[in-house]
Amino acid sequence: MDKEQNNLIVIAEDSPTQAEKLKFLLNSFGYEVAYGINGRQAFELAKKYLPIMIITDIIMPEMDGYELCRKIKADEKLRQIPVVLLTVLTNSKDILNGLECGADNYIMKPYDEKYLLTHLQSITANRHILKEDQLKTKIDISFSNKEYSISLTRLQILGMLLSTYQGAVSKTRELINTQEELNTLNFTLEQKIKEKTRDLLIEVDAQKQIEEAIKESEHKYRNLIENALVGVFSSTSEGEFTFVNEALVNMLEYPSMLEFTPRKIQSLFINNKNNTDFFNVLKKKHQVKNFEAELISGTGKKKIVIINAQLKGKTFSGMIADITDRKEAEEKERKYREKLFVAKEEAEESNRLKSTFLQNMSHEIRTPINAITGFSGLIADPDLPDEQKKEFISNISKSSLNLLSLIDNILLIAKLESEKIKIISEKCFLNRTLADIYTSFQKDKNKKGKGSIEFKLKTGNKDLDFAVLTDPSRVNQIISNLLSNAFKFTHRGSIEFGYTFSSDREKDKNGKEIEFYVKDTGIGLSEDQKEYIFERFRKVENEKEKIYEGTGLGLAISKKLVSLLDGVIWIESEVGKGSTFYFTIPLQVIEKPVREIKKKITPAERISLRGRKILVAEDNELNYLLLKAIMTGTEAEILCARDGIEAVESCMVNDDIEIVLMDICMPNMDGYQATKEIKKIRKSLPVIAVTAYSMNDEQIKSQESEFDDFLTKPVKPDILMDTISKHLLKRNP
């Protein structure tokens, strides 16, 4: 960088927020900025770029601002660069520490744009003086039982003193502004007090007028009482009513005044404690204010009331207000607030779990991507041995499958949350399905370093063709999730899975269900962990805080899938001894099943593609090139369509197209519509859907459309060639 044109300022700030704020302001002033999160990084940047200034926070990890300043001033090439401390400088010790480390200036937090710009312009304008002024003055200062040795140039001392002065001025201005605001508030408060006093005087005067009016209108008293909305009564000291108004009779739901008045007031209280407390207060204080009680109405209903009464001699009188509706409303509001609080707690917990999930997800996604990109770059080396190239390709393939599995889980939990997953009940050869799962995990066991673990399968029915009605893919998915979990947390011992038959405990006692289990001798779970293990984004760590791979979605997915299969899932576990996961599905046996054996096409049986014209409808260039590369060597003629419209037009123009590989999601016209249009033109032309969708509902949609077959990305070469051969053989046996 040209030193004459250097307009760079280095910032040392560990707070990203403060750093971005300062960087934004400096950029707006026309400065370039280099940013380090501590003094060490800032020092390296300073050595590399020789900036015009260094602005540093004081408190930072690894190397604080004082230490950074000392290192700058001790370096022959850097000592002439102004160092500005960014601090609140709340006491004299801070100033002395700044002088001692050799700082040229400081900026007080908080700062405004105008103050910052003026300060920086002043420092940069006087840089040449700093270069010329090399004569340092050494001062030893004792302050608060601590010795400070300060060695600075005159300009540095002047800069620090001016900064102190400017900071004091800034604080003084703040105090003046605050004092002015307080004066304004005080004046406003005095005005409000005067207004309130005037209002009170008006109210007192009005009250006096009301009292005089009442005295003058005493003859209207009874009419007023009779028409009151609250109950009014008068009684002897023994509780015998001498007067009640119509409102009280109606409030307590009595048919008439005659049926109400013979009663004593004590008989209206539901419980004796209310009654005793009321009369004790009345006799002691001669009045009762806002006494809340429960009274019984003439129809047997509970009435919650407020009683205000006064005892004069042997007579007491008062008013009764019905607050039943208000209390019910308050109770409803209380329950609502409780529910709201619980919902808030759950939302906060969910938000915390999602944050954890995103952190885990970032790690889980970056891990396979890192392997894919890293090994892909290494493969490009022309001198790489063939054996290493095969190993790297294998690693890329494994990482790609891991990434695809991770994405499938994320999409699946989203589908489950939105209730868009459909269960497809069909014939399931249960023992065959479990045997396939066993074979798959047995092969992977040694590769994952679990060769010493004993792996067993036990079935409740030994018939190989034992079949039930359920969704085979979902049963496979649940058991695979539980087994993956078992292998992850089991380091020695055994893992066993299988099923038994039992009565359905939640349904008809005569009903039956299949009870699957996955048992391991792994790390086990505590009682607290068992409470949340099936929640989304939850992960279990052992006592040594070993971090296990995974997103925390597997068991949550399994629980929702079991529920969709009309079953239940639970766990029995003990820390250090292992866990057993159970889940059930209804037992619906298919009698005398016909064995379904699909004959696999061997490479020798595949039909030749030489000279055959195949249309690939795919808007993604890389996906098209992949399909084309798979078919390289078949000598087939490959045509390309970038969207559904081009695919339809190609089929109209080229009568010799023999098969179409159709992507579903394309611009202008998607694969569904394009296939419908093609079938209108050439009904017998095979159209195979090739899509990134992998959910069952998408497969159903494809089956309900006019596709002849369905392939899921990433497409395996053998499956692609088998599928093409199968449909070409149907057309030309």
Q: Do residues 681 and 652 lie in contact, with contact meaning Cβ atoms separated by under 8 Å?
A: yes
Indicate which CATH number applies to the domain containing 275: 3.30.450.20
- Dihedral angle over CA of 16, 21, 24, 30, nearest 10: -110
**pLDDT tens-place string over residues 126-138:** 766 655 555 556 6
| Residue 13, pLDDT above cutoff 80 | yes
Q: Return the SS3 of 368.
A: helix
- Are 629 and 702 members of one domain? yes
- Give the bridge partners for 429, in sequence order: 467
- Residue 129, in any domain of the structure: yes
- Whether residue 557 is found in the same domain as residue 539: yes
Residues 322, 237: contact at Cβ < 8 Å?
A: no
163 and 18 in a common domain: yes
Q: What would the pLDDT profile of 510-520 be if each residue is shown by its tens digit?
A: 458 999 999 99
Helices (H), 217-253: 221-226, 246-251
pLDDT level of residue 33 (50, 70, 90 thresholds):
very high
What pLDDT shows up at residue 17? 87
CA distance 170 to 436: 77
Task: Give phi and psi for 506, each to the nearest 5.
Answer: -100, -5
What pLDDT score was predicted for residue 674? 92
Q: What is the mean pLDDT of residues 155-163?
A: 62
Cα–Cα dist 393/401, whole Å: 12
| Backbone φ and ψ of 519, nearest 5° | -115, 135
CA gap 456, 441 in Å, rounded: 11
Q: Are residues 64 and 154 in the same domain?
A: yes
How far apart (Å, rounded) are the C-alpha atoms in residues 148 and 96?
7
Is 216 part of a structural domain of the chain?
Answer: no
Strand partners for 512 = 503
Q: Residue 198 above 90 pLDDT?
A: no
| pLDDT computed for residue 675 by the predictor | 92
DSSP letter for 266, please: G
Residue 721 pLDDT class (50, 70, 90 cuts):
confident
In a domain? residue 181:
no
Give the amino acid at 184. T
Q: Could you say which DSSP state residue 448 is in?
A: T
**Residue 380, phi-psi category: left (phi > 0), alpha (psi -120 to 50), beta (remainder):** alpha
d(CA 74, CA 550): 50
Cα–Cα distance for residue pair 196/174, rounded to 1 Å: 33
Domain termination site, one of 174, 203, 236:
174
Question: Which of 61, 54, 111, 113 minimizes the C-alpha distance to 85?
Answer: 54
Structure tokens at 513: 């269900």
312 and 344 fall within a common domain: no
Q: Tell me 126's DSSP state.
A: T
Is residue 214 situated within a structural domain? Answer: no
Instruction: Lowest mean pLDDT of 3-7, 15-19, 463-467, name the range.
Output: 3-7
Tell me the C-alpha distance between 321 and 325, whole Å: 11
> Rounded to an integer, what distance in angstroms lies between the CA atom of residue 485 and that of residue 92?
60
The residues, any chain, with a CB within 8 Å of residue 412's CB and separated by 6 or more, are 421, 557, 695
CB atoms within 10 A of CB 543: 9
Kindly indicate the confidence band of residue 679, based on its pLDDT and cuts at 50, 70 and 90.
very high
Question: Which CATH number covers residue 694?
Answer: 3.40.50.2300
**Rounded distance between C-alpha atoms, residue 21 and residue 6, angstroms:** 22
Question: CB of 422 within 8 A of CB of 696?
Answer: yes
Based on the fold, state whether residues 268 and 308 are members of the same structural domain: yes
392-to-352, 395, 622, 667 alpha-carbon distances in Å? 38, 5, 21, 35
Nearest to 548 by CA among 448, 417, 415: 448
24, 155: one domain: yes
| The amino acid at 258 | L
Residue 282: count of CB within 10 angstroms of its CB: 19
Q: What's the predicted TM-score (pTM) here?
A: 0.45
Instruction: Determine the pLDDT at residue 542.
Output: 43
User: Which residues are 108's β-sheet partners?
Assistant: 87
Both tokens of residue 438? 């066993």
Q: Which of 107-121, 158-172, 455-469, 595-609 has maximum average pLDDT?
A: 455-469
Mean pLDDT of the chain: 80
CA–CA separation, 107 vs 87, rounded Å? 6
Is the distance from CB of 311 to CB of 282 less than 8 angstroms? yes
Name which residue leads in pLDDT, 552 or 253: 253
Domain boundary among 417, 436, 460: 417
Is 715 exposed, middle or buried, given 0-12, 13-18 or 19+ CB atoms closer than 10 A? Answer: middle
Q: Is the pLDDT of residue 547 over 50?
A: no
Q: 385: left (phi > 0), else alpha (psi -120 to 50), else beta? A: beta
Q: What pLDDT was estimated at residue 510? A: 44
| Confidence category of residue 121, pLDDT binned at 50, 70, 90 | confident
Q: Is residue 591 part of a domain?
A: no
> Distance from CA of residue 182 to its chain's centroid?
44
What's the pLDDT at 479?
93
CA 242 to CA 225: how far, in whole Å? 14
Q: How far apart are CA 166 and CA 273, in angstroms?
A: 73
Do 654 and 636 contact (CB within 8 A), yes or no? Answer: no
Structural domains of the chain, count: 5
Q: How far apart are CA 337 and CA 236, in angstroms?
A: 44
Give the range among 41-50, 144-153, 204-213, 476-485 with minimum mean pLDDT: 144-153
Question: Are residues 528 and 676 part of one domain?
Answer: no
Residue 163 binned pLDDT confidence (cut-offs 50, 70, 90): low
Closest by CA to 470, choosing from 510, 516, 538, is 516
199 in a domain, yes or no? no
Please, which pLDDT band fits residue 584 given cuts at 50, 70 and 90? very high
CATH number of the domain within which 525 lies: 3.30.565.10
Same domain, 313 and 385: no
Same domain membership, residue 351 and residue 274: no
Residue 700, pLDDT score: 45
pLDDT cut 70: percent of the chain above it = 80
Structural domain boundaries, residue 303: 222-322
More confident residue, 145 or 21: 21
Q: What percent of the chain has pLDDT over 90?
A: 19
Secondary structure (DSSP) of 154-193: HHHHHHHHHHHHHHHHHHHHHHHHHHHHHHHHHHHHHHHH
Beta bridge partners of 264: 240
How far is it, in rounded angstroms, from Cα 538 to Cα 354?
9
Question: What's residue 51's pLDDT?
Answer: 93
Inform me whether the pLDDT recorded for 597 exceeds 50: no
Q: At 443, is the secondary structure helix, strand, or coil? A: helix
In 10 A of CB 578, how many CB atoms? Answer: 21
- DSSP label of 537: T
328 found inside a domain: no
Distance (Å, whole) CA 539 – CA 532: 9
Are residues 446 and 542 both part of a single domain?
A: yes
Give the mean model confidence (pLDDT) for residues 624-649: 90
The residues pairing with 240 across neighbouring beta strands, listed in sequence order, are 264
CB 55 within 8 A of CB 10: yes
Per-residue pLDDT, 19: 87
Q: Which residue has the tokens 């049986």?
A: 605
Lowest-confidence segment of 218-222, 454-458, 556-560, 565-569 by average pLDDT: 218-222
Instruction: Check whether 396 has a pLDDT greater than 90.
Output: no
Residue type, 656: D
Same domain, 301 and 354: no
Query: What residues contact 336, with CB distance under 8 A and at least 6 apart?
Result: none
Question: Where among 322, 342, 373 does a domain terminate?
Answer: 322
> What's the CATH code of the domain at 367?
1.10.287.130
User: Does 376 map to a domain?
Assistant: yes
